Structure 1
Amino acid sequence: MSGFHLAQFNVATLRHPLEAPESTGFREALDHINALAEASPGFVWRAKGEGFDSALPAEGQDPNYLLNLSVWESAEALAAFVYRTDHRDYVRDRAQWFLPSVGPSFVLWWIPAGELPDGVEGARRLKLLAELGSTSEAFDFRSRFPAPDLAFSADAN
């Protein structure tokens, strides 16, 4: 087991307001998908509350702009949830509910186990991925980086 966990941050802009009839399928699945994530092997944490719950945008945040931030024990655990549970259907049908993204909308990075990221850090990592492509600091599923080596990380401090 690594001394690191995988943080993931993703953003999306709804085609229609959350309460619109066109968003019904997405809106009605939120509680189920969140519960499924939380019950998945390897799940550690997800951000909740203002700015992260679809029905409770942060002050000044476009209510159609949705943020998701979570922490997982490994990329494999996150991928299993994303692509091998009911969540896969929502990934497949995302164009039905969300506008196309101009740049990356999903980013991964390693954090020391026990630490929790915030939305500011998630946005910074997403910007880093957009500007530099995949690096060990910000990557995606297609170009994963392994967790840092604990011995190397301890020497860097």
Structure 2
Amino acid sequence: MLNRMSDHRLAQLNIAALKAPLDDPALADFVALLDPINALAEASPGFVWRYVDENGADATAARPFGDDLIVNFSLWADRDSLWNFTYRSGHLDLLRRRREWFTRMAAAHQVMWWVPAGRIPTIEEAGERLALLRANGPSPEAFTFTDSYPPPSAPPTTAETGTPETATRAGAGLTPPRPASPSSS
């Protein structure tokens, strides 16, 4: 019997170009939704963490990529947890109204990548991952919901002995190591 433990978490960054400053009346509905949506995320199964800057300001107040760009940067247990929050919760109502508040971006504006469990990615790393996606397209290092990749897998171990097994990345074709054949001298 093989044990496989998820030793990675899914990081996600998305950026949006505001049509107006956050204090503009045109964005009042969006601003009013921020706290409830953040609370919904934090209460969602699989939520791990969300970005706040060194002064305690949440991601929307931080402007690491320019004054007109807001960010959402978070960490989730897995892809399904993030998907369910994004498309199967009250967050979907916010997505449906995004054209009221944000300008359409020609370049990729959302990126995901796997990080080892227990490590919190930096906002600089998030920007690098978005740049990587924009430059090279989806890869295991930078991807989207449309072109997602599984987490890197640690070598599986046998439950009985705790010894590593030889496995492909997808886990197919598991082959236990063969003992060396005795030499006849």
Instruction: Provide TM-score, normalisation by structure 1.
Output: 0.90
Which secondary structure state, in structure 2, belongs to the residue aligned with residue 6 of structure 1? Answer: strand
2: distance between equivalents of 1:54 and 1:121?
18
Matched with 2:24 is 20
Structure in which a larger fraction of residues adopt helix: 1
Q: Does 1:53 align with 2:54?
A: no
Is the radius of gyration larger for structure 1 or structure 2? Answer: 2
Which secondary structure state, in structure 1, belongs to the residue aligned with residue 115 of structure 2? Answer: strand
Deviation per residue, 1:25-84 (Å, 9 max, x gap): 1000000000000000000000113574323546x941x310111000000000000001
Which of 109, 112, 116 is the aligned partner of 1:112? 116
The answer on whether the counterparts of 1:44 and 1:73 sit within 8 Å (CA) in structure 2 is yes
Percent identical among aligned pairs is: 41
Which of 10, 33, 42 is the aligned partner of 2:14? 10
Q: How many residues align?
A: 152
Structure 2 runs not aligned, ≥5 long: 157-163, 165-185
Instruction: Provide TM-score, normalisation by structure 2.
Output: 0.77
Structure-2 change in CA distance of 1:35 and 1:109 (3 Å):
same
Matched with 1:75 is 79
Q: Does 1:40 align with 2:40?
A: no
Deviation per residue, 1:98-154 (Å, 9 max, x gap): 0111201000000000000111111100011111111000000001100111129x9
Structure 1 runs not aligned, ≥5 long: none
Structure-2 change in CA distance of 1:90 and 1:147 (3 Å):
same
Q: CA RMSD, aligned part only?
A: 2.1
Q: Does 1:121 align with 2:109?
A: no
